[in-house]
Amino acid sequence: MKPQTPQSSKMAIPEQSSKELAEAFTKTLSLASRSVHADDYINNHQAVAPPLHVSTTFRYSRDPEKLQPWNNHNPNTPHDSHIYSRDSAPNTTRFEALLTSILNAPAISYSSGLAAFHALVVFLNPKRVAIGGGYHGCHGVLHILHKLNNLQQLDLTSPSDLALLQKGDIVHVETPLNPTGEARDLAYYRQLATEKGCYLTVDATFAPPPLLDPFKWGADIVMHSGTKYFGGHSDMLAGVLAVRPDRGDWVQGLKEERLHLGSVMGSLEGWLGVRSLRTLELRVRRQSENTQRLVEWLDGEKAKRGVVGEVVDKVVHASLQEEAKVEGSWLKEQMPEGYGPVFAIWMKEEVVAKKLPSKLHLFHHATSLGGVESLIEWRAMSDQKCDKRLLRVSIGVEGWEDLRDDLIQGFEALKAEK
């Protein structure tokens, strides 16, 4: 399946963006440039850095003749007019403007990744959702909805379950997969969804731009836990839904439902998000390159006689999939810029997996991922159903050689205890 080209402007920024900026370039601006300038059209102050607005409500016009229900247009700030922060606010509006450019599709922000997933399912209102492994929180949302309306959860890897899909249901694919960082073939699932008359929704949290554009492979809605790479500094919660451009009528519906669900981002989080997106490409490329080198090193060392091979059973990551070695494979075409900054290590013993994080100095033992600092998690701490030998690793922007050396001294410390 050839990648599809989303309908978008030449700059892939909102239609209301500055004509001066859009007309200044005859080429598509780079991701890095759009991350810094796609919200310039909102500027109404001489300050270069956008301010933090904390107000939850905004004054109506003093002219009674201009009062219109649920319309508070200010001609002096046409792209920054607001009524109540549960609908829109200055900082989240900027955040969404940047995301719309970065994701090549209209984007809507939410208070968390799970709030975004919940909003997605509520809006599409399927009878069945086919979902694979991945983040256990999404399964938890579906479990709650089953309690409310008997929503049926199907196994994305089961042919008998997939046979139950009907028109209007959801095929939900997480790629790369949590917690292993393995990738899934979106073209395959697009074909499946089309055959069944289903919507294809994609959780691309583990592969933010520039690593993956699910819309090229037919996604209807793409979700991200913005807490991870969009935030990038382990200091904000956010969720994002981006809607395929030719389904733009969905955007207003999602916004109206968000107004009543109340799952909006806070103003501080919107401000932090704008700050973070400025460096998205720099961070993600560095993290992905670091990960590639560490995975290659670990996978090579575990096959040798030595401290790594004594304790490590296997390493799992998209870069180690067979398709990553084949030119022209679906994986090479789907992720030409790199395979993501998260991978998994299976230790040979549970007790070793439990102890290793405490032996490291540059890796923080903590859940979540996507920040500038490297994290390692004995995954059983937050997902009790997973293999107790599994460690999830999220690589930051440190020097990869330093991270390698930290792992080596950690393995040696474990060996010394035996």
- Crossing angle of helices 113-124 and 249-261, in 10° steps, is 120
What confidence score (pLDDT) does residue 122 get?
98
Minimum mean pLDDT among 24-33, 100-109, 309-318, 337-346: which range?
24-33
CATH architecture for the domain at 281-417 = Alpha-Beta Complex (3.90)
Preceding peptide of 90 cis, ω within 30°: no
Q: What is the mean pLDDT of residues 358-371?
A: 97
- Residues contacting 110, CB < 8 A, separation 6+: 116, 119, 238, 239, 240, 241, 258, 263, 264, 265
What confidence score (pLDDT) does residue 3 get?
60
pLDDT at 11 over 60: no
| Tokens coding 235 | 């200091």
* Separation of alpha carbons 338 and 386, rounded Å: 26
385 confidence band (pLDDT: 50, 70, 90): confident
Which top CATH class is 19-277? alpha beta
Tell me the pLDDT tens digit for each residue of 218-245. Answer: 999 999 999 999 999 999 999 999 999 9
1 confidence band (pLDDT: 50, 70, 90): low
Residue 270 phi, psi dihedral angles, 5° rounding: -65, -40
Please tell me the pTM assigned to this model. Answer: 0.93
pLDDT at 362 over 90: yes
pLDDT at 325 over 70: yes
Burial class (CB in 10 A: 0-12, 13-18, 19+), 201: buried
Residue type, 1: M
Q: Do residues 80 and 40 touch, judged by C-beta distance below 8 A?
A: no
Q: Where are the domains of the chain?
A: 19-277, 281-417
What confidence score (pLDDT) does residue 14 get?
47
Better-predicted residue by pLDDT, 324 or 18 = 324
23 confidence band (pLDDT: 50, 70, 90): low
- Nearest Cα neighbor of 136 from 162, 114, 121, 157 is 114
What confidence score (pLDDT) does residue 334 get?
98
Residue 315 phi, psi dihedral angles, 5° rounding: -120, 135
Tell me the pLDDT tens digit for each residue of 280-316. Answer: 999 999 999 999 999 999 999 998 889 999 999 999 9
- Nearest Cα neighbor of 397 from 415, 371, 378, 359 is 371
The mean of the pLDDT values for the chain is 93
* Separation of alpha carbons 197 and 300, rounded Å: 44
Place of tokens 């409310």: 148
Range among 21-30, 175-184, 302-311 rated most confident: 175-184
